[in-house]
Structure 1
Amino acid sequence: MKFKISSFSDIVKAMGLVFGDIGTSPIYTLVIVFTLTRPSHDNLFGILSLIFWTLIILVTIEYAWLAMSLSIKGEGGVIVLKEVLSSFVKKGKKATIVAYLGYFGISLLMGDGVITPAISILSAVEGLPLIHGFEWITGNIVILITMVITIILFAFQYKGTDKVASSFGPIMIIWFISLFISGFISILNMPSILLAISPTYAISFLTHNGLAGILVLSEVILCATGGE
């Protein structure tokens, strides 16, 4: 199968359509995790390590490599994965199990599609009170602003994926550049944070926190929303 070389405009559209979600997920994940977990040095490094390896294993290996390689004429997704698996099993109980797994995967995808926009927008708007001069913004106002933005975005989607991607692509490029600059400066101020890349911190966090550490994984998994 021949692949067309993407133009710069296609890359910009991909930034707005594909990478916008995964580019914000790890940020609000930290907010949610530390709302329920005591912020300490060990917990910080452990959770950052969990987030890093979740992105590597789930998004890079499972989604980008494994799932993308299991395609039909370049098309992927849960339904295509179901068709690929169905070709390896005969009719009967195994085929039924594969079908139910497909339905389950589609249900998860639909649930993610419903909850992720709300969480992403809410986490972004929650930062407004941290800006000097906007301290007066209360939680109710944050929710109201989030609702308005969500309604506008969904109302705009009828114009089609192409126009939506073209509109948000440049915004996401600015967003990622801002993340890079702020992240690079933060690393210069605290280079030891790079030690969190080591999986030993993630393993140590899980072993020392027991069931609570396992429950934290249900929050950490939010960092991968949008990867699918």
Structure 2
Amino acid sequence: MNLILLHPEDFIEPNRARLTGRRAEHILKVHRAAEGEQLRVGLLGGDIGSAIVLGLGNQQVDLEVSVTPADPPPPPLPVKLVLALPRPKMLNRIVQHATAMGVKEIYLINAYRVEKSYWQTPWLEAEKLREQCLLGLEQAVDTAMPRIELRKRFKPFVEDELPAISAGTQALVAHPVSAAPCPVDTDQPVTLAVGPEGGFIPYEVQKLQEQGFAAVHLGPRILKVETALPVLLSRLHPAR
């Protein structure tokens, strides 16, 4: 946890926050903070500043919060992510990775190779997804929560919604057998579609191409989604 994220409900006074649960435990057991110690904090959806530890109790930490002078969160990655729903075991890691890298708009969609049972996982509940996003923000020292949308029908989403989502962006679909390599350090915002394990089937690639998506690859090696996604994001928009 490289940033202590503070939520509006944490504040018991205008400049005083009380933390319990996971964040308090992290401060007590990992930071091993003492009274008077300064910690880096961020206001969820706001700026980044510092806080002084006022008191330590049994699974409770009181902080005096200051965001003056304030630092803004890092700029978002100019990528909209359209992702075929991964296996539940991979979903958490992928959401964390995408959030940590700065993606702010994520669409989890259906595809032929997405098992129907994946849509029943409790990890798709809004609160569970939010928890993974918070972990990604804490890792990356960010405060801006991404938006995650679920779309269970591939064809209506691609035909009815995707054109407006990808408008004004470079639209790309990751497809290992495509002819074109993924561009490097593009100066345009991107809408990136990534398939499930095994990839999109030809029909799905064709439907995406009909909406202006160009198929690109990462080379001769076939990577798992959780590996390919960070590579794609860092290739398209390297950190500056």
TM category, shorter:
under 0.3
Larger % of strand: which? 2
The TM-score normalised by the length of structure 2 is 0.22
Question: Which gives a bigger RCO, structure 1 or 2 (Cα 8 Å, sep 6+)?
Answer: 1
The TM-score normalised by the length of structure 1 is 0.23
Larger % of helix: which? 1
